[in-house]
Amino acid sequence: MYPYKYNRQFERYLSQFKRVLSGFQVQDGVLRDGSYNTRRVKVVYGSMSRVVASIFNKTTFTNHTLPLIGMHLTSIEKDTQNKRNYHHVDHVAYTDQYGERQAYSRLTGPAFNLMVDVDIYASSHDEMFEIMEQILLIFNPRVTIQVDNHLLNSDYLTEIILESISNDVNYPTGTERQVVQQSLTFRLPIRLSYPMDMDANVIQTIISNIVVDSEDGVDVIDELVITDDGEA
């Protein structure tokens, strides 16, 4: 078995993405003096069919459900352009808070592109344009997000890139009521990072121990046990 290492990295990227989208407001009622109230647009995670189903399933369908922004991950693609040499171990020397010289080694993880669809559901075209305008003013051309605040994480920044915009009128399954919906496709380049305490030794141990060759032949190990300190 491999040591259990899980750091919720996809979730952290997606939650930061969601944070970028949450905070847009729409006009909500005009007062007698001509001023108006605003209401924050909710952001949910889910594909279009699920989000629409949840809207229609409500027993009291009121305007307060809409507008709504739904986002979901559509695909994870390999980002070979951003690949770094996997033989590289990045050595960093620094002085810690006690004045001691420290050395730190880290591996560079694999790079991916997260393709994220953002669907805007609104009760009118006017409301749709209201939200669209605000979003498109922000993505000019990219929004940079921070996903970590650790000093030694070299992938703490990434970008959200607007790839395409499409305007669809959909008829969700099981209903004849049309849904006016605007879809934006975003690309989020990410790099998964190895746990902070893991250096090259662990990975090399895994690779080289799966097959043990000798002068007589090749022995295959049935089960590989690797402890947290990298010893097999």
Partner 1 sequence: MATSQAAKEINRNNKNQRVDQFYVSFLKLPENVSNLLGKQTKMIDRPNLTFETSMTNHRHNQFQDMNQVRFDPVSVTLFDDENGLTRQYIYTQLFRQLNRGADVFGRWDVLDRDYRFDVKMEMFNSVDELIEGYVLRDCFISSIDHTQMSTDDEDTETEITIILTYNNIDFFIVNEYVEFKGGIPMEGAGQARTSS
Q: Is 15 helix (H, G, I), strand (E, B) or coil?
A: helix
For the bound state, the minimum distance from the C-beta of residue 216 to partner 1, rounded and expressed in Å, comes to 10
Q: Which CB sits closer to partner 1, 113 or 181?
A: 113
Q: Which CB sits closer to partner 1, 42 or 155?
A: 155
Written as one letter, the residue type at 205 is: T
Q: Which CB sits closer to partner 1, 219 or 228?
A: 219
Q: Which CB sits closer to partner 1, 62 or 140?
A: 140
Q: Which CB sits closer to partner 1, 86 or 171?
A: 86
Strand blocks (E) in the chain: 25-30, 36-40, 42-45, 68-78, 89-95, 101-107, 111-121, 142-146, 157-170, 179-191, 211-213, 218-220
For the bound state, the minimum distance from the C-beta of residue 87 to partner 1, rounded and expressed in Å, comes to 4
For the bound state, the minimum distance from the C-beta of residue 85 to partner 1, rounded and expressed in Å, comes to 6
For the bound state, the minimum distance from the C-beta of residue 121 to partner 1, rounded and expressed in Å, comes to 28
Question: What are the tokens at 158?
Answer: 């990434």
For the bound state, the minimum distance from the C-beta of residue 83 to partner 1, rounded and expressed in Å, comes to 8
DSSP string, 89-142: EEEEEEE-TTS-EEEEEEE---EEEEEEEEEEE-SSHHHHHHHHHHHHHH-SSE
For the bound state, the minimum distance from the C-beta of residue 205 to partner 1, rounded and expressed in Å, comes to 10
Q: Which CB sits closer to partner 1, 63 or 164?
A: 164
Question: What are the tokens at 229?
Answer: 């300190």
Contact 187, 158 (CB under 8 A): no
Written as one letter, the residue type at 137 is: L
Give φ, ψ of 209 to 5 degrees: -100, -5
For the bound state, the minimum distance from the C-beta of residue 48 to partner 1, rounded and expressed in Å, comes to 26
Contact 92, 152 (CB under 8 A): yes
Q: Which CB sits closer to partner 1, 30 or 165?
A: 165
Interface residues with partner 1 (CB under 8 A) are 81-88, 90-93, 108, 141-142, 161, 204, 207-208, 211-213, 215
Contact 225, 1 (CB under 8 A): yes
